[in-house]
Structure 1
Amino acid sequence: MSQASVSGTAAAAGPSGWQGARPGPALATLALGLVLYFGLPRLVPVPDAKLFAGQPVVAKPVPPAKPAPKPEAKPTAPAAATPVAPAPAKPLTRAQLEAKVEAETKTKAKLELDAKAKAESEAKVKAEAEAKARVEAETKRKADWVKGLHLFAIFVSTIVGIILKALPMGAVAMVGIAVTALSGTLSIADSMSGFSDVVIWLIVLAFFISRGFIKTGLGARIAYTFMALLGKRTLGLSYGLAATDLVLAPAIPSNTARGGGIVMPIMASLARAYGSLPGEASARKMGSFLTLTAYQVNCVTSAMFLTAMAANPLAQKLAGDLKVTITWGGWALAALVPGLVALLVVPFIIYRLHRPEITETPEAVVMAKAHLRDLGPIKRQEWAMLGVFVLLLVLWIFAKQLGELNPTTSALAGLGVLLLTGVLNWEDIKNETGAWDTLVWFAALVMMASFLNKLGMVPWFSKSMGGMVSGYGWIAAFLVLALVYFYSHYFFASNTAHVASMYAAFLGVSIAAGAPPVLAALVLAFFSNLFAGMTHYGTGPAPVLFGTGYVEVGTWWRMGLLISFVNIVIWVGLGGLWWKVLGLW
């Protein structure tokens, strides 16, 4: 081996070539995990049985002993009677009568004593069985509580590892699964159970399908079409970006792919064409306005469809664990009115608060039409992609009328059509790393969150927190909980991490406070997208769009806070009226 190769190998092994965990965040995550894993069982006592899992532990009743079956008398053929003269009955003496009565009394008393003894024996056996069952139930409850605390420690450590970026999200999740199984907190079958969840595969399949929009150029064609129709003014351009995001949202579950992969390049090219450059005073000409608008409408469209953001199916799954059913059509219908109004109002509010210097953009229409000419007539593969997209929307919206057709089944069928028609090939599927990454971290978080509920942690927290808001009406209590849930996103750099760590608990508390379950589940799910607009790190598209350099941090946060007020008023105020019409409360 040459000296150069040796030195190259040594360099790769050194700090500059280190490809493993980031030492600081990894050590911090490990320390936190160890403290929680060994400290929580000592610091947090087993709660009273009435609070655990929301109800007292009751031993299973032992069925009473069945009486022995009476032998059935077998019929016998009557024997031929021989006429015998009846003997005259001799009258009993007084002494004989008294003796007979005394014997019958003793026999009756003995039978009563025997029956009483038998009943006491059966009652004793039953009591012992109930006591044993009660002890076993209590032992299991305590063991489940300790397991729940251990799983909570692993779960929190996984979330912290994701937030601190000790490793890529999928890698952190995989380590979390390994620790769950190695520690004996859950069996290996339970630890891997998330990979068989159909909700997870829905989002993975949607990632594959979204690749077709990018590969065929259909996504860019849709965007340029809206630019040509609405691009005469800067405000119209912002509505064109919103319309593009809205059309693509149902089939592209990665808000980063929509905002960063399709919308951002078009937005940036438009801004540069008008001399609006990042990091310069000219950014206010157009670029900063379009950047802020593109990000905020991305948060709105992500809230409008179950398949528009990766964490939405996670919220659906967590709600399902609490016996709250959310369908694709139900989600879309509930979000329809507040979502469309927000898409109309939010760009206008940003336009008024952060007015661009260039308001007339006739050249944008010319540019969009030029790009459409370059794309040429719509191709066969684009038609196939469009047909599959429309088919999926029909299947998802009318799933109930089609015999409760599972959305994952529809997505699987759509992917099959794309493969059969050549829109996608197997290399496209293998190379869609975002889908496989999502599969791993999504499966880990779903598994942990589900078992935290099964082991009683979430119901216990909900029951305990419910007592804190029990003095309020359900509307006031739910509003407080929803606002706390919303603005706590300042401490999160991921919608998924926020949903995984807080959604189930806050939903459980809201239901315990009296909020209608479906309404509470949907509002918290909508907020799980809208709250990302407050910071430049709140969700995937944030660093992509912020990284263009058109908007300063202070401006981004100020506008994010103001738009959060606007979104809450629209979704809670107008949305509340719409949900009343739908019968959700």
Structure 2
Amino acid sequence: MSTQTEKKLNLKPLWIALAFVALTIITLLPNGGDLPVAGQRALAILAFAVILWVTEAVSYPVSSAMIIALVTLMLGLAPSMEDPTIELGTSDALKMALGGFSNSAVALVAAALFLAAAMQVTNLHKRLALWILSIVGTKTKAIVFGAILVSIILAFFVPSATARAGAVVPILLGMVAAFGLAKDSRLAALLVITSVQAVSIWNVGIKTAAAQNMVATNFIKEQFGVDITWGAWFLYAAPFSILMSIALFFIMITLIKPETNNIAGGKEVIKKQLHDLGPLKGPEIRLIIASVTLLFFWATESKLHPFDTTTVTIVAIAILLLPKIGVYTWKEVEPLIPWGTIIVFAVGIMLGTVLLNTQGAAWLSDAVFGSMGLDSLPLLATIALVTIFNILIHLGFASATSLASALIPVFIVLASTLVNVDQVGFVLIQQFVISFGFLLPISAPQNMLAYGTGAFTTKDFLKSGIPLTIFGYLLILLLSATYWKWIGLL
């Protein structure tokens, strides 16, 4: 294992060099005039970013700093889009490069991370998970159902996939250990894989469950002027996630056979862990009130009040930080916030915006999809082809946020070329597919967190991931032909 790690580490300089080679080649390619110079350079930076993202040659925050520097220098020295006779200038290009940080979607992601940290500080997410598992019983099938149910309920209140997985996985492994089985047992593989697959499924179902959803809704709002509310997203996506959760249950209990059908000591383990947490404390009660209130405001956005998702979430975080009224101090929360995630998110939005504004996304969309003649195909065939492309591309990405940053601008341009299609609906459905992290442990951060426990192998994950992805693909087509048409999404 250590030899493999060393080899991987030794390849990192090679990947960085390859990223710069790709950047240079694309920048210097002859331009026939059908693409602005700024667009060509934006595509060169995208290629550079994708190589670093896929290979993880440097961490995501480090690659973000490199992308900001490249956008500032390369677009600053490129002809202006408004007046090609003059250069844009590094000062204006720097404003463009830092533009993502002023975006309201970034503020929402930051606020969501603070909310997830509140759950960690108070241990409320752990209490909720234990309480649900204590109700479902000790039969293996019941615990599989409980693991899915926990992931669903936490998705409403914990807007971080990694935090949700981090709450549930240790509890499930504790139950396995209590029964006297090793952490690499079949039972451990069954329960841990179930919980993280459920996390990915509900990244689709709930707007605030995952950062990549903020990328999509931000681009949709900027390009189409349509603000997709929390309730509207739930109406569109929740049926998909419900059906996927049912499929997950049957796939898991069929394909991974545990050593036992009943965890005899499971009830005692959960009871002990709940006892160790003690009675509900003041901060937990206040966090429950804040979370339920927040969920109410999210769900009734544009119906009962004029406040958008970002505004109410930031107000909630401000209240949670207040002395006496709140649940934590700045000193407690600061080390729990993955600040690099906020930087990556802002840079992802910026890069997508640059691709759209410099016509780089339009050129890329034409290059990738133009030869397919999608505009003459029936809508369902178009969705079928683009969805397969989306699933295959995801195999190379460890971050759905990065994938959304690269692909959503391309899908927006593609949607604008299609006839008799609701453009917003088309883009939104592809965003649902971007959250498909079912195939490999590397397909999503929550998968990697679970994989790090040693509870399962890549082969185990694929065993559930392949049928789940196939079912998800067919479900996308079925809902596109029926439900999403009926409710006016397509």
- Tell me the TM-score normalized by structure 1: 0.75
Alignment partner of 1:537: what SS? Answer: helix
The aligned residue for residue 108 of structure 2 is 202
How many residues get paired? 461
Q: Quote how far apart the aligned CAs of 1:488 are.
A: 2.3
Q: Which moved more, 1:383-392 or 1:232-241?
A: 232-241
The aligned residue for residue 450 of structure 2 is 545
Q: Quote how far apart the aligned CAs of 1:470 are.
A: 2.6
Say if 1:24 and 1:550 are closer, same or farther in 2 by CA, change over 3 A. closer
1:327 equivalent among 229, 234, 250: 229
The aligned residue for residue 360 of structure 2 is 457
1:310 equivalent among 189, 194, 211: 211
Say if 1:40 and 1:182 are closer, same or farther in 2 by CA, change over 3 A. closer
Find out whether 1:398 has 2:300 as its counterpart. yes
2:152 equivalent among 235, 239, 246: 246
Q: RMSD over aligned Cα, in angstroms?
A: 2.1
2:196 equivalent among 295, 302, 305: 295
Q: Quote how far apart the aligned CAs of 1:257 are.
A: 1.5
1:160-559 map, 5 Å: 160-183=51-74, 184=76, 187-259=93-165, 261-279=166-184, 283-284=185-186, 286-323=187-224, 324-420=226-322, 421-434=325-338, 436-463=339-366, 465-466=369-370, 468-514=373-419, 515-530=421-436, 532-559=437-464
Give the Cα–Cα distance (whole angstroms) in 1 for the partners of residues 228 and 392 of structure 2.
24
Give the Cα–Cα distance (whole angstroms) in 2 for the partners of residues 498 and 181 of structure 1.
22
Say if 1:364 and 1:507 are closer, same or farther in 2 by CA, change over 3 A. farther
The aligned residue for residue 573 of structure 1 is 478
Contact preservation (8 Å) 2:204, 2:238 = no
Letter in 2 for 1:448: L
Contact preservation (8 Å) 1:235, 1:351 = yes
Contact preservation (8 Å) 2:201, 2:244 = yes
Q: Quote how far apart the aligned CAs of 1:459 are.
A: 2.6
Contact preservation (8 Å) 1:325, 1:518 = no
Give the Cα–Cα distance (whole angstroms) in 2 for the partners of residues 410 and 193 of structure 1.
23
Give the Cα–Cα distance (whole angstroms) in 2 for the partners of residues 550 and 584 of structure 1.
40
Contact preservation (8 Å) 1:208, 1:415 = yes
Alignment partner of 1:485: what SS? Answer: helix
Find out whether 1:149 has 2:52 as its counterpart. no
Structure 2: any 5+ residue segments left out of the alignment? 1-8, 79-91
- What does the per-residue CA deviation read over 1:340-359, in whole Å, with 9 as the maximum and x for residues that have no partner? 22222312221012222311
- What does the per-residue CA deviation read over 1:516-553, in whole Å, with 9 as the maximum and x for residues that have no partner? 223212211111112x1101110101122122222222
Alignment partner of 2:454: what SS? Answer: coil
Q: Quote how far apart the aligned CAs of 1:370 are.
A: 2.5
Q: Quote how far apart the aligned CAs of 1:466 are.
A: 4.5
Q: Which moved more, 1:364-373 or 1:216-225?
A: 364-373
Alignment partner of 2:391: what SS? Answer: helix
Alignment partner of 2:180: what SS? Answer: coil
Say if 1:289 and 1:23 are closer, same or farther in 2 by CA, change over 3 A. closer
Alignment partner of 2:438: what SS? Answer: helix
Say if 1:432 and 1:384 are closer, same or farther in 2 by CA, change over 3 A. same
2:33 equivalent among 23, 46, 63: 46
The aligned residue for residue 128 of structure 1 is none
Give the Cα–Cα distance (whole angstroms) in 1 for the partners of residues 196 and 41 of structure 2.
38
Alignment partner of 1:491: what SS? Answer: coil
Letter in 2 for 1:154: I
Contact preservation (8 Å) 1:30, 1:157 = no
Alignment partner of 1:311: what SS? Answer: helix
Give the Cα–Cα distance (whole angstroms) in 1 for the partners of residues 382 and 337 of structure 2.
42
Say if 1:425 and 1:418 are closer, same or farther in 2 by CA, change over 3 A. same
Alignment partner of 1:268: what SS? Answer: helix
Give the Cα–Cα distance (whole angstroms) in 1 for the partners of residues 22 and 107 of structure 2.
34
1:42-81 map, 5 Å: 42-47=29-34
Give the Cα–Cα distance (whole angstroms) in 2 for the partners of residues 560 and 419 of structure 1.
40
Give the Cα–Cα distance (whole angstroms) in 1 for the partners of residues 42 and 16 of structure 2.
15
Say if 1:27 and 1:174 are closer, same or farther in 2 by CA, change over 3 A. same
Give the Cα–Cα distance (whole angstroms) in 2 for the partners of residues 44 and 272 of structure 1.
62
Give the Cα–Cα distance (whole angstroms) in 2 for the partners of residues 356 and 257 of structure 1.
26
